[in-house]
Every structure is written in C-alpha cells, then in structure tokens.
A = this chain, B = another copy of it.
Amino acid sequence: MKARIIVTLKNGVLDPQGQAIEGSLKSLGFAGVDSVRQGKVFDVELSATDPGSATQELESMCEKLLANTVIENYTVEIIG
C-alpha cells in the first residue's frame, strides 16, 4: 500500500526557506508571487493492507517522528 504524508509549517512559524525562495522567485521575474511556504512530502510504502489501520499507523508515525508538532501540521493520504 502506498501513502503520501504532507508536513507543513503551522501558520505563524518562521519559514526561512520559503522566504528565501519567494525572494528568489521575485528576482527571477515572477512578480505575481505573494508568498511561498515550504513543507515536506513523504511517500511511504507499507506492507499493511487495511487502509483504516494503515492510516492510524501513519498518523502515529507523524506524531512520533515525521512532524515536529510544535511547529508542524501533517496530513495523511492513502494513494494506492
């Protein structure tokens, strides 16, 4: 089973990478960029077969390791 986890910074948390990229896009001439926030994607392959329990397992991975819940949010999606 394949799953995709997306981890993004919470609102209000500083995002130096996003800021720098925004600046760089602007200097490349992309004037219409209002903001950029950078996050992470994890594409996970699991041997589990039940989507329900897999989702639970993935959420637990996020809580325990993949996201720093002080500053990050996460979403979990089974994709195949």
Contact = CB atoms under 8 A, between A and B. Distances in A.
Interface residues of A, number: 32
Contacts of A70: none
Given A41-B40, A43-B39, A24 B57 contact: no
Nearest to A7: B41
Contact of A45 (B28, B34, B38, B48): B34
Interface in A34-53: 34-48
Interface string A40-78: 111111111000000001001100111000000000000
Given A21-B66, A25-B65, A42 B32 contact: no
Closest 8 pairs (CB-CB, A-B): A39-B41, A34-B45, A32-B47, A35-B45, A37-B43, A32-B48, A32-B46, A41-B41
